[in-house]
Amino acid sequence: MLSEIGVRMVLAGHSERRAIFEETDAFVNQKVKAGLDSGMIVIMCVGETSAERENGKTTEVITRQITKGLKDIETSRNLVIAYEPIWAISGGDPNKPKPIATKKQIEEMHGLIKKLLANQFGDDFIPVLYGGSANDKNAAEIFSMKGVDGVLVGGASLDPDKFVALINAK
């Protein structure tokens, strides 16, 4: 239905859908397959909660989400991955500031994701975006990080001037 009305890109596995609607990795996999089968570009989101990070489960969680979310996917064509550490997403509430992921944390996770993708798809280039509260103030630094191919913008896209500044930060 989405492709019939001209939709060209779709998100699968966004943290809010995983949390609110309890979407499993297997369900995300079905959505990825459906999107790819429809010829759309699929942005599959992965990320850990603060509890998972604090308990040393980050690598395990990201590996599981990538492995199960991309199960039986044979082509990397039209596939994009977005790493969105849930604990670093602002949710748009300025009264509840979230911690910001460090350069080391971002680069480590992007490196892990790229390794997992290379194991499954070979040397095909699959963009890996960062989606943890990217905005006009931190975009230039994020764009300069190893393994970061772009950003998945949330609340920062709501203000046109700030969004343009974010785009121009590259």
Query: Which one of the listed residues 23, 48, 52, 84 is annotated catalytic?
Result: 84
Based on the structure, what is the number of domains in the chain? Answer: 1
Identify the domain containing residue 12 by its residue range: 3-168
Beta strands in 13-127 (DSSP E): 41-46, 79-83
Long-range CB contacts for residues 149-152, cutoff 8 Å, separation at least 24: 152/43, 152/45, 152/82, 152/84
CATH number at residue 50: 3.20.20.70
pLDDT (tens, 9 = 90+) of the chain, 170 residues, equals 888 899 999 999 999 999 999 999 999 999 999 999 999 999 999 999 999 999 999 999 999 999 999 999 998 999 999 999 998 886 555 566 667 789 999 999 999 999 999 999 997 789 999 998 888 999 999 999 999 999 999 888 999 999 999 999 87
Query: Which one of the listed residues 14, 23, 48, 52 is annotated catalytic?
Result: 14
- Is 110 catalytic? The answer is no
Q: CB–CB of 62/46 below 8 Å?
A: yes
- Is 14 catalytic? The answer is yes
Taking the whole predicted model, whether its pTM rises above 0.85 is answered as yes
